[in-house]
């Protein structure tokens, strides 16, 4: 079959344009990968490179095993200087946050506001973003995930989910597990309240019932047995229909039920025991590592060869079409 020269020229032009665009994309990706590869190799400590790729539970264990090594801590600081987390002071809607741990202690969440009328008033009539004990919670991804401060968050949510809280947000870490890793690295390379090197990963445990799973009966019984008269008076001032302990229990259960429905932990959320404890290392944010970037670099490295395979296939495909047409 004969093909006119004009048609051939049109087809050839289309092929050349397509080929040029594709080559430009591949070239940019190759250049980016080379840069990323060079940067990831800046991690001088082999243990740190390996630990970064582990699942979160193993990551925390390995971090604790290496934390006393000065060279390891120096490697974290070096990596942080090249891949630091961007953070900012932020205001977050309590009911929009998602927890990154799978258990929240009911006692640590509710005992204080049910026994302290100043706290109860602060949460019920929240006019300004709340800072419990003057400390912001830690969030990530523009206030999407709770990274540290789950019990402070659950306190406020249980009493008044319409409040806002002050947070320190790790803005450019969008993966919540990576945000936990970033925070733990900052703690590990930091100093304690006395200015000494951190030598163990701080941990905490949940002893009471899990607020994220507690039953209606258990929650209401807890409120009825815990609330004090002066706190009940604050609830009544807030809402005249909250006249008895049982009224308050019903009200708080409504908030907790909403939390259980709309604010379940992220998939694969770890337990309380291996969550970051930023209060133990006041300067932790100075040494955070953007693990989103570091781990994505490894992902890019794994896809480089696939990119070249696609490039070679297109080369062969274009050559075949040109031969067939001409």
DSSP string, 25-59: HHHHHHHHHHHHHHHHTT---HHHHHHHTS-HHHH
Backbone phi and psi for residue 190, each to the nearest 5 degrees, phi listed first: -100, -160
Q: Confidence class of residue 272 from pLDDT cuts 50, 70 and 90?
A: confident
SS3 label, residue 97:
coil
| pLDDT per residue as tens digits for the range 162-181 | 999 999 999 999 999 999 99
Query: For position 33, what pLDDT does the model report?
Result: 43
Q: Which of 85, 40, 43, 49 is nearest to 276 (CA)?
A: 85
Report how far residue 129's alpha carbon sits from residue 168's, in angstroms, rounded to the nearest whole number: 12
| pLDDT per residue as tens digits for the range 103-144 | 999 999 999 999 999 999 999 999 899 999 899 999 999 999
- The residues spanned by each domain of the chain are 5-41+299-325, 86-285
Whether the predicted pLDDT of 230 surpasses 50: yes
């Amino acid at each position: 079959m004969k093909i006119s020269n004009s048609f051939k020229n049109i087809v050839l032009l289309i092929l050349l344009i397509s080929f040029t665009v594709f080559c430009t994309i591949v070239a940019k990706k190759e250049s980016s990968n080379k840069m990323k590869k060079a940067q990831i190799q800046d991690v001088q400590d082999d243990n740190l490179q390996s630990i970064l790729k582990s699942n979160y539970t193993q990551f925390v264990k390995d971090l604790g095993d290496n934390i006393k090594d000065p060279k390891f801590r120096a490697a974290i600081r070096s990596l942080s200087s090249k891949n630091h987390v961007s953070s900012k002071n932020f205001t977050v809607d309590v009911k929009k946050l998602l927890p990154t741990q799978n258990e929240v202690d009911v006692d640590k969440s509710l005992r204080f506001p049910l026994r302290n009328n100043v706290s109860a008033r602060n949460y019920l009539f929240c006019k300004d973003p709340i800072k419990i004990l003057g400390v912001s919670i830690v969030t990530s991804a523009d206030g999407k995930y709770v990274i540290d401060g789950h019990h402070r968050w659950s306190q406020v949510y249980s009493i008044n989910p319409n409040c806002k809280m002050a947070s320190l947000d790790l803005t450019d870490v969008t993966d919540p597990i990576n945000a936990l890793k970033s925070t733990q690295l900052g703690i590990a390379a930091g100093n304690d309240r006395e200015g000494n090197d951190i030598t163990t990963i701080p941990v905490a445990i949940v002893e009471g019932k899990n607020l994220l799973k507690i039953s209606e009966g258990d929650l209401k019984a807890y409120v009825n047995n815990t609330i004090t008269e002066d706190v009940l008076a604050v609830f009544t001032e807030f809402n005249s229909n909250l006249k008895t302990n049982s009224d308050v229990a019903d009200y708080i259960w409504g908030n907790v039920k909403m939390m259980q429905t709309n604010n379940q932990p992220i998939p694969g959320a770890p337990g309380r025991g291996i969550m970051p404890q930023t209060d133990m290392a006041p300067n932790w944010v100075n040494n955070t590592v953007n693990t989103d970037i570091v781990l994505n670099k490894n992902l890019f490295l794994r896809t480089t060869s696939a990119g070249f395979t696609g490039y070679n296939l297109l080369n062969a495909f274009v050559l075949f079409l040109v031969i067939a047409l001409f």
